[in-house]
Structure 1
């Protein structure tokens, strides 16, 4: 397979964004100690922080004994449960604070961001257990519909919640929006091969995160709590919107998960956005393409919260 020409695939705005990001959080960050990674990641997130829109009320409070942050505007009838990215190693309530606040403002929905435990302090299934404890408590605390949402590692957790909720918290989750999620696809084909050395995330980076997440043990097989694509049953899942980045080894997971959900009779749509890179949410203020990417996220959350499905003819890459 030929190496992609990223100079042509990625536009000048996104390259400029990546240069700023790499200056704060270098591409070889996985070679550093976890403590240094977290420090630099937090510093980088602060550089790109866009603040909270006016009118959003923010409260820090635990759900299921897991630290969370609640964002509300008046008459928030739908609750979005958000899981942040960071490879299960970095990230926090602060790293995605402005993203969650903006989703709240633009949709009018309550957003609860979950600060699940990070590896190596908490290894699998600890992060899943935290995510589930919070989700269960949030579902008890608020009436109305729930939407699951998350990016990267958080997309994995959001999907894992949707799978695990069947038969446990039936009917509450009305949809899920998964943003460049890692769902456990086949590393030997598709984007894992084509974009193995993509800017912002490489397969080598993923190997590091996988090792830390499992505590160096063999990854579990056939366990959808770890890898939702490894489930044997994709029936009964809520309508699903997958939004991935073209220049990302994880992008194939979007298509594989869409096909699995559709194959079981469910609703799912996959957008693989041209020229985008992993973790492009924070580029939304400096890249037209990234802003459009985020618009897709907001549109998906808003539509699912209203019980709408405006995707009958949508195709990947639209």
Structure 2
């Protein structure tokens, strides 16, 4: 793959800055070093939190969450951070959540779900679902689920599990989610050596959450694409990066929702790479995508579907 032709100079600068603190290859790093490196990398790109945002760290049914609000919100976004289910937390995506809050006017609940490998499946999913239930009870607002990478997986898993259980979910916005697609086909092969995320590490860590180290094959709370029923899901908008092995997961997921009679729209962001949310302040393509993401969240909260 000729990434020099696909990726512009600004994005290459973002890739280089990322690799300075968080090299692609995790080999040789302990778990503590891996998490410290990820946190340091996120700090490099972190933007100041807007002054108008009120932030509270609270506990939601034993799950730590951070609640962002500005004014008098009438909608709640429940946001799940990325990090491969192994790294990340409330601080890694603090600025992203704060900016979503300011730009939409919605409350944002960021969820600090338990991480693997200490906490095996379904720990992360259980925390994600518990926090969503808490948000429904605590605020009584309609909810939009959102998340990036592993967080996109959790948002989709919650949406599927919530059918017939919760009535508050108005939609979901997934950002370069890994949903458990076929690692031997499509973008997993086409972009196996993509900058910042390579297929070999996806395969290597596929079972990191599993009790026996082997990923299940029919558990939609582990990997939403393992589900067999995609009907009655909320309106769904998925943003994928072109240069990303998990790119096709978003397209396949949207295709299955539409085939089951639902609303879903897939956007493939040209020339972007996994993790581009952190580039939204320095890369024009990433900034444009973030604006589309915010518009998508706001639109779903207003029951607007702008993609027909």
Whole-angstrom CA distance in 1 between matches of 2:88 and 2:248:
24
Does the 8 Å CA contact 2:183/2:203 hold for their aligned counterparts?
no
Deviation at 1:44, TM superposition (A): 0.9
Whole-angstrom CA distance in 1 between matches of 2:196 and 2:288:
19
Matched residue, 2:29: 32
Secondary structure of the equivalent of 2:208?
A: helix
Whole-angstrom CA distance in 1 between matches of 2:180 and 2:208:
16
Matched residue, 1:183: 179
Are residues 1:277 and 2:283 paired?
Answer: no
Whole-angstrom CA distance in 1 between matches of 2:29 and 2:204:
11
Matched residue, 1:268: 264
Does the 8 Å CA contact 1:49/1:98 hold for their aligned counterparts?
yes
CA deviation vs aligned residue, 1:254-301 (integer Å, no higher than 9, x gap): 110010000000000000111000010000111000101111110110
Does the 8 Å CA contact 1:246/1:276 hold for their aligned counterparts?
yes
Whole-angstrom CA distance in 2 between matches of 1:261 and 1:237:
7
TM-score normalised per structure 2:
0.98
Matched residue, 2:54: 57
Deviation at 1:209, TM superposition (A): 2.6
Whole-angstrom CA distance in 1 between matches of 2:27 and 2:170:
36
Secondary structure of the equivalent of 1:225?
A: coil
Matched residue, 1:157: 154
Q: Which runs of 4+ in 1 moved over 6 A?
A: none
Does the 8 Å CA contact 2:147/2:154 hold for their aligned counterparts?
yes
Length, aligned pairs only: 308
Matched residue, 1:142: 139
Does the 8 Å CA contact 2:57/2:64 hold for their aligned counterparts?
yes
Whole-angstrom CA distance in 2 between matches of 1:108 and 1:209:
37
Structure 2 gaps, min length 5: none
Secondary structure of the equivalent of 1:158?
A: helix
Please list, as runs of the form range in 1=range in 2, the aligned pairs for 1:210-229 lying within 5 A after superposition.
210-229=206-225
Are residues 1:236 and 2:212 paired?
Answer: no
Please list, as runs of the form range in 1=range in 2, the aligned pairs for 1:1-318 lying within 5 A after superposition.
4-169=1-166, 171-312=167-308
Structure 1 gaps, min length 5: 313-318
Q: Let me know the Cα RMSD of the aligned residues.
A: 1.0
Whole-angstrom CA distance in 1 between matches of 2:33 and 2:214:
26
CA deviation vs aligned residue, 1:4-50 (integer Å, no higher than 9, x gap): 10011000000011111100111112541111000111111111110
Does the 8 Å CA contact 2:156/2:224 hold for their aligned counterparts?
yes
